[in-house]
């Protein structure tokens, strides 16, 4: 009985956290393309049946969003748009109340016109429809830059004090090594905190960063997120981040995805990275993926290792399905400890590298 209660409680917690991180909540908002077309479905919640999206301006310009309810055109849905310089969800209530916002109602279709955004500003959109409905909604976003000379590739935030060390962050394509531009979010010290759009970011540093956070999102590439990013203090320090594109046949490790030791349960700190994978799948419905689970050599016998790795891959699938991705697009596979990164790991870091989840884009 005690075992049953424990398993039930663990399952309930997993569902609770999955719901908390779904795009029915601000904390699980879909980061959507500022230019392009895509569709999403309401999740049919009993209360606050909402859909949250975030758009980020790569430069100063005018944003427009055409919203069309596909399934139930007679349903009246309500929406609101918030404009902010930081992620709206993380702001304290006092700051949220001071932000620019626009409310609207839609019966089947609505056009959000001429939303003025400064470079790196957020447009956070919440749409709510009646409980339990699972309407499909089609979005078409367009963006027109209003400052043609505004640089969006190399961004210098250097201090006038030339004696300060310089931190440079560079984004590159993992195969071609060519520069690519995307959204860079940094936290860790006042001089670096913020969200930027660039292929190269130069910042003056007053002190080393021991436990900063770094998130990088580039259209067409798997997102990267580091919770404890270290930036040492030196005359010049260069971070070069290589990103993997989501092309058919491309195998990519999911960074920052963790499991309880010896168990298949996903740890809560993994949800941010899994939500970025969810966004990629929701916004690219033509993509199917294999989810590869791997464990370290010394965790279990070969049979138990294969079982655990398959369970972890299935947990990733379950999380994605609970958050709006069709199950038929996801293929979990367990490899046990048969494909280690390090055949004879020497320390905990190498063991952790063997415990991993990888994603393979399938040919359609």
The domain ranges of the chain are 16-145, 154-243, 251-361
- H or E element: which one contains 273? helix 271-283
User: Which tokens is 104 given?
Assistant: 């609207």
Q: How many CB atoms lie within 10 A of CB 255?
A: 16
* Cβ neighbours, 10 Å, residue 74: 7
- The dotted CATH code for 154-243 is 2.60.40.1120
The pLDDT score that the predictor gives to residue 271 is 87
Neighbours of 106 (CB within 10 A): 20
Q: pTM here?
A: 0.76
Structure tokens at 61: 């310009």
Residue 364 has a pLDDT of: 64
pLDDT tens digits for the chain (364 residues)?
Answer: 333 322 322 333 343 334 446 899 998 899 898 998 999 999 999 989 999 999 988 889 999 999 998 876 668 899 999 999 888 888 888 888 888 899 999 888 999 999 999 988 899 999 999 999 988 999 999 999 998 777 768 888 887 666 788 899 999 998 889 999 888 989 888 888 888 888 999 988 888 898 888 888 887 788 888 878 888 887 788 999 998 877 777 788 887 788 877 888 898 888 888 888 898 899 888 889 999 999 886 655 788 888 999 999 999 999 999 888 999 999 999 999 888 888 888 888 888 888 889 999 886 6
User: 16-145, what's its fold?
Assistant: Jelly Rolls (2.60.120)
Q: What is the pLDDT of residue 2?
A: 33
The answer to whether the beta carbons of residues 19 and 44 sit under 8 Å apart is no
**Hey, what are 130's tokens?**
């009646």
**The total number of residues written for the chain in this structure:** 364
Please give the structure tokens belonging to residue 162. 């030339």
Contact 299, 348 (CB under 8 A): no
- Does domain 251-361 match CATH 3.30.70.1450? no
Sign of CA dihedral 255, 257, 262, 263: negative
**Do 23 and 45 contact (CB within 8 A), yes or no?**
no
Give 245's strand partners: 221
Measure the CA–CA gap between 8 and 179, rounded to whole angstroms: 48
The position carrying tokens 């320090």 is 237
Cα-Cα-Cα-Cα dihedral sign, residues 327, 248, 38, 220: positive
Q: Are 277 and 283 in contact (CB under 8 A)?
A: no
Whole-angstrom distance, CA of residue 36 vs CA of residue 66: 11
Read out DSSP for 76-129? EEEEEEEEESS-GGGS-HHHHTTSEEEEEEEESEEEEEEEEE-TT-EEEEEEE-
> Phi/psi of residue 314, each to 5°?
-70, -35
């Amino acid at each position: 009985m005690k075992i049953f209660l424990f398993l039930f409680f663990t399952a309930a917690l997993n569902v609770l956290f999955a719901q908390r991180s779904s795009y029915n909540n601000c904390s699980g908002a879909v980061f959507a393309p500022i230019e392009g077309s895509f569709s999403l479905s309401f999740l049919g919640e009993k209360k606050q049946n909402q859909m949250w999206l975030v758009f980020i301006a790569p430069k100063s310009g005018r944003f427009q969003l055409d919203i069309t309810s596909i399934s139930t055109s007679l349903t009246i849905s309500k929406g609101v748009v918030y404009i902010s310089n930081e992620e709206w969800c993380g702001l304290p209530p006092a700051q949220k109340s001071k932000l620019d916002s626009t409310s609207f109602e839609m019966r089947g279709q609505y056009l959000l016109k001429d939303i003025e955004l400064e470079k790196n500003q957020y447009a956070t959109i919440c749409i709510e429809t009646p409980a339990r409905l699972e309407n499909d909604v089609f979005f078409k976003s367009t963006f027109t830059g209003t400052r043609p000379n505004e640089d969006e590739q190399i961004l210098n935030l250097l201090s006038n004090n030339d004696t300060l060390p310089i931190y440079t962050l560079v984004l590159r394509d993992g195969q071609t090594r060519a520069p690519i531009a995307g959204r860079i979010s940094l936290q860790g010290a006042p001089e670096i905190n913020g969200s930027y759009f660039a292929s190269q970011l130069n910042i003056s540093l007053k002190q080393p960063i021991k436990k900063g956070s770094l998130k990088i999102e580039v259209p067409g590439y798997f997102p990267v997120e580091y919770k404890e990013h270290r930036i040492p203090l030196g005359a010049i320090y260069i971070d070069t981040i290589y990103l993997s594109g989501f092309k058919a046949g491309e195998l990519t490790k999911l960074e920052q995805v963790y499991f309880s030791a010896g168990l298949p349960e996903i740890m809560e700190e993994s949800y941010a990275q899994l939500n970025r994978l969810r966004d990629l799948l929701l916004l690219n419905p033509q993509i199917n993926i294999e989810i590869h689970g791997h464990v370290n050599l010394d965790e279990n016998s070969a049979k138990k290792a294969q079982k655990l790795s398959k369970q972890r891959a299935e947990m990733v699938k379950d999380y994605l399905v609970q958050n709006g991705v069709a199950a038929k697009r996801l293929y979990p596979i367990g490899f046990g400890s048969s494909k280690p990164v390090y055949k004879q790991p020497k320390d905990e870091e190498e063991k952790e590298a063997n415990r991993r989840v990888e994603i393979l884009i399938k040919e359609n």
